A and B are shown apart, each in its own frame.
Chain A
Amino acid sequence: MSDPTPLLSLRGIGKAYGPVVAVREVDLDIFPGEVVAICGDNGAGKSSLIKVISGAEEPTAGAMSMRGKPVSFASPHDALEQGVATIYQDLALAPRLSIAQNVFMGSELTRPVLLPFLRILDKKRMISESQRYLSQLSAAVTDMTRPVERLSGGQRQAVAISRALRWNAEIIIMDEPTAALGVKESALVLDLIRKLKADRRTVILISHNMRDVVALADRVVIMGAGRKYVDRPVGDLTADDIAHMIMAGNAKAA
């Protein structure tokens, strides 16, 4: 890691739902341009941790900072405005709306009409900009007015990522991006993540697929029983090694 200041830094983060503690005292630093995989079995606390980072839920303990400045996200939108975008598996897109409508959802472009203060949607520019984002990701889609429901799973991910690019997100959180996809589509999504990395974006990847983790991540963080107990460069770890570490963590927790 050439850059010594972490982009995002968590200190002592905890998340409790009433008496149930899902995340305990997690310290985590994310550096610019890294791909960090967060792994762990179901119930290990990785989803809860991600919800805190993405602004979906507020932590019950600890503090977060970005580029050294303290931050707190009251909503996913808050996080988005600070440059942390989350690509949710199923929830992020409106299937019947067009690609352009989805990319610019919540941040539509407008142009003045007749009077300077009277602004209407700039549909042409939203279409051309969407096109630009998607070709940046080398996604082979040409018609930006097509409804998202007619796209393949991989193409939908590209649309969701385009929205993150539209927000100029520095950190892109991807929750199980290949879980629902076939082999070919998964390969497309892995390529998308490589493109983001080449573009110096920071990616936090939650995945059950150890081969994806080994193929893409610079660093792997393993959670178990709400705690972070592995945080190391992927290096020459194999998918099996990571799977074993996850199981070891479960054994420790039990």
Chain B
Amino acid sequence: MSRIDARSLIGHYGTALAGLALILFFLIFAPNFASTTNIVNVLKDTSFLAILALGFALAFTVAELDLSIAEMASLAAVVCGWMVHAQYPPAVAVAAALGVGVVLGGLNGYGVTVLRIPSLIMTLGTAAIAKGLAFMITQGVAFVGRWPVGFTGLARGYTFGIPNLVLWMTAATLFAWGLVKWTRTGAHMVATGEADEAARLAGIATARMKRIGLLLSGVFAGLMAALLAANLSSAAPNMAGDYLLYAIAAVLLGMTMFEPGKPNIPGTVFAALVLKVLGNGLVLLGAPYYIQDIVLGVIIIGSVAFSASAMKKAAFKV
């Protein structure tokens, strides 16, 4: 391991420690923040954000931006809700949500690697298509109903006293982390994202890696969508729209931690927690709702500025 000095310690853990301090601050000062109910709620909220952000992080690992995650999730939730509504078994409904992610994530990968459309544009197009389809399926209204516990329990249930949502988040995190850090595919994805041309010359199938990154982004959006629908017992065509900026913020804030300047799995998940704690704490402290958006914007810009300066050069490129 490289030499540890004060500067690299701050570079690696500075914002993580700040996040920890923030959590402690709210634990002490925000009324009711420390109640079990509230903490469980924050963790559940974090799960949705973390799973979606992990997908974005995997796409970002291969240096592609997936701006369609939230709309893919909305469409997947609607398809999932539709299935539940039509009395299909929960497993089929979940598979359908994941399937939406596979199809749209696959479409993104095809557009980026075969048609050579920049991911920024390709995924915006996919997002618009997904949004339109979601409204088409629901005709603008939401699927609401008394859904079977077999489905809603996926999100609302507990296993060994731990909320299922938290278990899903843990599983998604371990999967993403194991993939990126410990498999050849993960190493190839990282190399592709870091130096496309060098990776190609070293024999790595870079286009395939990009397709895998974007595909997984879709799958994670599908998983998040199924859980979101299960948790709310409803599926509306715009239900995940607000998550896009939060997910981007989580990944970018995560890039200031642990492995500065690189999209990384532990950073993404911890940043998702910090963002949700911050949102919840601000509400409990009585801050007006619009403060959250302003704070979010500052975090997005500040994270990138921090990463860039931590790397001592503008190596941050999209």
Contact = CB atoms under 8 A, between A and B. Distances in A.
Interface of A: 75-77, 80-81, 86, 88, 91-97, 101, 105-108, 110, 119-121, 143, 145-146, 163
Interface in B194-242: 194-195, 197-204
B2 A76 contact: no
Given A106-B191, A120-B182, A76 B203 contact: yes
Given A88-B201, A92-B201, A106-B203, A101 B195 contact: no
A153 to B, nearest CB: 16
A96 B194 contact: yes
B197 to A, nearest CB: 5
Contacts of B201: 76-77, 86, 88, 91-92
Given A121-B184, A143-B2, A80 B203 contact: yes
A120 B186 CA distance: 10
Contacts of B203: 75-77, 80-81, 106-107
Nearest to B313: A149
Contact of B191 (A94, A145, A146): A94
Given A120-B182, A121-B181, 19 more contacts: A75-B203, A76-B200, A80-B202, A91-B195, A91-B201, A93-B195, A93-B198, A94-B191, A96-B194, A96-B261, A105-B202, A105-B204, A106-B188, A106-B191, A106-B202, A108-B184, A110-B184, A143-B2, A145-B1
Nearest to B311: A96
B294 interface: no
B165 to A, nearest CB: 27
Query: Which secondary structure dominates chain A's binding surface?
Result: loop
B114 interface: no
A120 B187 CA distance: 11
B195 to A, nearest CB: 4
A48 B199 CA distance: 21
A97 B200 CA distance: 15
Contact of A163 (B178, B197, B202, B262): B202
Question: On chain B, which size bracket covers the interface?
Answer: 20 to 34
Interface of B: 1-2, 178, 181-184, 187-188, 190-191, 194-195, 197-204, 261-262, 315
A95 B196 CA distance: 12
Contacts of A75: 203
B198 A108 contact: no
Given A77-B203, A110-B184, A121-B187, A105 B198 contact: yes
A216 to B, nearest CB: 24
A79 B177 CA distance: 33
28 contacts: A75-B203, A76-B200, A76-B203, A77-B202, A80-B202, A88-B201, A91-B198, A92-B198, A93-B198, A94-B191, A94-B198, A95-B194, A96-B315, A97-B191, A101-B190, A101-B191, A105-B191, A105-B199, A105-B202, A105-B204, A106-B202, A107-B202, A108-B184, A108-B187, A110-B184, A121-B184, A145-B1, A163-B202
Contacts of A119: 184
B10 to A, nearest CB: 18
A44 B228 CA distance: 63
Contacts of A120: 178, 182-183
Contacts of B262: 96
Contacts of A108: 184, 187
Contacts of A163: 202
A161 B1 CA distance: 23
7 closest cross-chain pairs (CB), A and B: A106-B202, A77-B203, A94-B195, A94-B194, A106-B203, A120-B182, A105-B202
Given A108-B184, A121-B183, A145-B2, A95 B204 contact: no
A250 to B, nearest CB: 31
A93 to B, nearest CB: 6
B11 to A, nearest CB: 13
Given A77-B203, A97-B190, A91 B182 contact: no
A101 B183 contact: no
Given A76-B203, A96-B261, A101 B187 contact: yes
A99 to B, nearest CB: 11
B199 A94 contact: yes
Contact of B195 (A95, A107, A145): A95
Contacts of A97: 190-191, 194-195
A95 B312 CA distance: 14
Contacts of A101: 187, 190-191
Nearest to A81: B203
B40 to A, nearest CB: 33
B5 to A, nearest CB: 14
A143 B2 CA distance: 7
Contacts of B261: 96
A95 B262 CA distance: 12
A92 B195 CA distance: 9
Contacts of B182: 120-121
